[in-house]
Structure 1
Amino acid sequence: MIRKYVSERISWITFFISLHLFIIFVAYLDSALPVKPIMYIVFLSLIMFCIFLIFRYKKETNFYKRLEAREDNLDLSNIAEPDSPFEKIIESSIITQTELLKQAAEKSRMTLEQEKDELLAWIHEVKTPLTAMHLMIDRLDEGMLKSHLTYEWLRIHLLLDQQLHQRRIPFIENDLYMENTDLETIIFDEIKTLQSWCIQKGIGFDIQLDVTEVLTDAKWLSFIMRQLLTNSIKYSESADIMIFSHEQAGQTVVEVKDSGRGIDSKDVSRIFDKGFTSTTNHRDSAATGMGLYLTKKAADSLLISIDVKSELGAGTTMTLRFPKRNDFVNITSM
């Protein structure tokens, strides 16, 4: 702050020093003026000026120090008290701008809330004809047509489900309900939903669950498993997807392993980034780059870590590590 203060007052300091040097110069040129007394006066003046600077430094920087230490938020209760007319101008400007920002933020929040509610309402409305469509598809006799229609229905269903959870993710903490959850039920329910797609692609499942129960939120775990299975099915062909669960160091570990196209090593660290699709298959317009991003967000809220092992052309293994039961306190206190 001292350096800033000197930089702010450098013109005044320069003027003061220049003025006294000019007085000394005049006394030196004019023999009628005694040089020693004038030098003495200049010396005393410099001392007084230094004392004045120190006093003014404390007085003039108090406001700015408090302003600098203030938290970067829109709370005006802890704003520094001004000591001069110029500081009052700054305070008035800060208050005015903050009030305008609050109004703009509130307006934006209300607009986003309205858009979110409208989209959620639309998704729920669309689910009704989708359910009716699924019932009509089930009544079809022609195998090939039924298979294709079921696949297209499933794609729409999964996209709507992803949108629904994307809107709920920011408020996931309000939606968590931790309970003993049956892994087998969740996994088999998700496989049943994706059954028609799996049949079409010739994909089977090898499931070995040494641990069948975890303490977590059933609804959000279903979403996580759905996204992982969807990804495995999407990039696999005529192969089995293996799902294992076991206990390791007091943690439940669930692995989803496929034999699909895999992920390039340079992409592995980016697959959970929002909007990232792929660098090896960049023209894949079907990919949204949102599935794994939402999966990671949901897993983080449940304190579930996700590890990825993959090689291009050699498949991918997604590993979920659930928190220890003692960590349940950390989840419920969020």
Structure 2
Amino acid sequence: MNFRKHVKDRIGYTAVFFINALLIILIMNLTLIINEKRVSKENIFYSFLISSALYLLFMTYDYIKMKPFYSYLRKAADSEGDLNSILSIAEVRTQEQLMYSKILKESYKSYTDKLSKYEENQKQYIYFINQWVHQMKTPVSVINLLLQDKDKENFKETLESIYEENEKITHGLDMMLCNARLSQFNLDFKVEKVDLLSVIRTVVNDNKKALIRYSIYPKIICREAMTVETDSKWIAFVINQILINAIKYSKDVSSEEKYITFEVNDEGSRLVLSIGDQGIGIPKEDRNRVFNAFFTGKNGRKTSESTGMGMYLSKRICDELGHGLSFESEEGKGTKFFIAFYKGKSIFNLSKL
């Protein structure tokens, strides 16, 4: 920006200054007239000329002070989006420039934080897709082999195996849809009063064939009419994921009677659902990473069915709904997960966002 544009940009200041100078001269002249004295035109002109010179000096000083900032703006405008040029702001000399610099840096920081988060989400999503596709290939291949079996005597056994593989595909699809919907969670949930016992029974019923297949007995300890504020669909996914893991890590345990226990306890300020199994338990070195994305741990590496996303998604869902999710485990004796529904922490307002 050149000097002429600088002065033009401050046309309001110029107008106010000269109007003010003329008013002062006029008032002084009127005062002298009242006192029967006169001021020569030369003196009036000389006063106006001095005021104009002082104003011009001030504008020159102001322009020199702003010139580095104008040079920066011109350079930033011609940089074609080069962030280094835009962020390399010149020496700050005014409060206005300081505020501009602060806003620019805060905006850039916010932008980089969002970009980093987006890139991390994309990286996780792509990795999850690759894992999911790899996981789905196994049951599909097994089904194809079973369908090629020409031994009609094993027809019932073949159907059972196909059903088992189909359950894996269904579970994988549920996880895929859940992961996709979580990015817009606030658009896909409805908070209401939910009968927790009814949700537990529904989840158990959905997994009854797997429970029967591995001789695992569900035990529900809950009095009737235990209601909580939550989204029935999302909380059912969490409970289902915990149950599937409990079955997965209990099925090979040698025991005459294997139980998965659902127990609901009213602790005053919160209602706690515990889901405990008698499975192989979680190794001590893996416990701090159970809720990490893609972490399968020592137990998960023993089976190709594990993607390491189930508990990560469950934790994210509970966080979004305002519920607590924790666990305790002892290797070789089993694992117990706890879902805490806080009574004083209503989440009805979330559904209105």
- TM-score category of the 2 structures, normalised to the smaller one: 0.5 to 0.7
**1:249 corresponds to which letter in structure 2?**
G
Distance between the aligned counterparts of 1:220 and 1:141, measured in 2?
39
Higher RCO (Cα < 8 Å, 6 or more apart): 2
Counterparts of 1:124-143 in structure 2, within 5 Å, are 143=156
CA contact (8 A) 2:318 2:325 kept: yes
Aligned pair 1:161/2:174, yes or no?
yes
Aligned pair 1:85/2:65, yes or no?
no
CA contact (8 A) 1:303 1:331 kept: no
Distance between the aligned counterparts of 1:310 and 1:157, measured in 2?
28
CA contact (8 A) 1:262 1:316 kept: yes
CA shift digits 1:269-310 (9 cap, x unpaired):
111100000035535332100100111111111101111100
CA shift digits 1:211-249 (9 cap, x unpaired):
622111111111111111111111013511000012112
1:296 maps to 315
1:37 maps to none
Distance 1:332 1:265, change over 3 A: same
CA contact (8 A) 1:257 1:318 kept: yes
CA contact (8 A) 1:150 1:196 kept: no
Counterparts of 1:178-197 in structure 2, within 5 Å, are 178-197=191-210
Q: 251, 265, 284: which is aligned to 1:265?
A: 284
**1:93 corresponds to which letter in structure 2?**
S
CA contact (8 A) 1:299 1:306 kept: yes
Distance between the aligned counterparts of 2:155 and 2:348, measured in 1?
53
Measure how far apart 1:86 and its partner are: 4.3
Measure how far apart 1:176 and its partner are: 1.5
- SS state at 1:272 partner: coil
**2:306 corresponds to which letter in structure 1?**
A
Measure how far apart 1:94 and its partner are: 7.2
1:236 maps to 250
Measure how far apart 1:325 and its partner are: 4.6
Counterparts of 1:212-251 in structure 2, within 5 Å, are 212-237=226-251, 239-251=258-270
Distance between the aligned counterparts of 2:312 and 2:168, measured in 1?
18
List runs of 5+ in structure 2 lacking aligned partners.
1-60, 87-107, 134-139, 148-152, 252-256
CA contact (8 A) 1:274 1:293 kept: yes
Q: 157, 160, 168: which is aligned to 1:144?
A: 157
Counterparts of 1:2-41 in structure 2, within 5 Å, are none
Distance between the aligned counterparts of 1:255 and 1:224, measured in 2?
12
1:323 maps to 342
Distance between the aligned counterparts of 1:174 and 1:241, measured in 2?
34
List runs of 5+ in structure 1 lacking aligned partners.
1-54, 61-80, 124-129
**1:191 corresponds to which letter in structure 2?**
V
TM-score if structure 1 supplies the norm length? 0.60
Aligned-residue CA RMSD (Å): 3.8
* Identical positions, percent: 25
**1:174 corresponds to which letter in structure 2?**
L
CA contact (8 A) 2:200 2:239 kept: yes
Distance 1:83 1:307, change over 3 A: same
- SS state at 1:262 partner: coil
Larger Rg: 1 or 2?
Answer: 2
Measure how far apart 1:141 and its partner are: 10
How many pairs does the alignment contain? Answer: 233
Distance between the aligned counterparts of 1:312 and 1:166, measured in 2?
29
CA contact (8 A) 2:260 2:277 kept: yes
2:221 maps to 208
- SS state at 2:346 partner: helix
Distance between the aligned counterparts of 1:272 and 1:154, measured in 2?
23
Distance between the aligned counterparts of 2:272 and 2:203, measured in 1?
18
Measure how far apart 1:83 and its partner are: 1.8
1:47 maps to none
CA contact (8 A) 2:263 2:274 kept: yes
**2:199 corresponds to which letter in structure 1?**
I
CA shift digits 1:10-48 (9 cap, x unpaired):
xxxxxxxxxxxxxxxxxxxxxxxxxxxxxxxxxxxxxxx
- SS state at 1:288 partner: coil
2:45 maps to none
Distance between the aligned counterparts of 1:292 and 1:281, measured in 2?
12
- SS state at 2:205 partner: helix
Distance between the aligned counterparts of 1:324 and 1:154, measured in 2?
35
Distance between the aligned counterparts of 2:344 and 2:80, measured in 1?
48
Measure how far apart 1:165 and its partner are: 0.8
Distance between the aligned counterparts of 2:293 and 2:77, measured in 1?
40
Distance between the aligned counterparts of 2:316 and 2:175, measured in 1?
13
1:309 maps to 328
TM-score if structure 2 supplies the norm length? 0.57
Aligned pair 1:174/2:187, yes or no?
yes
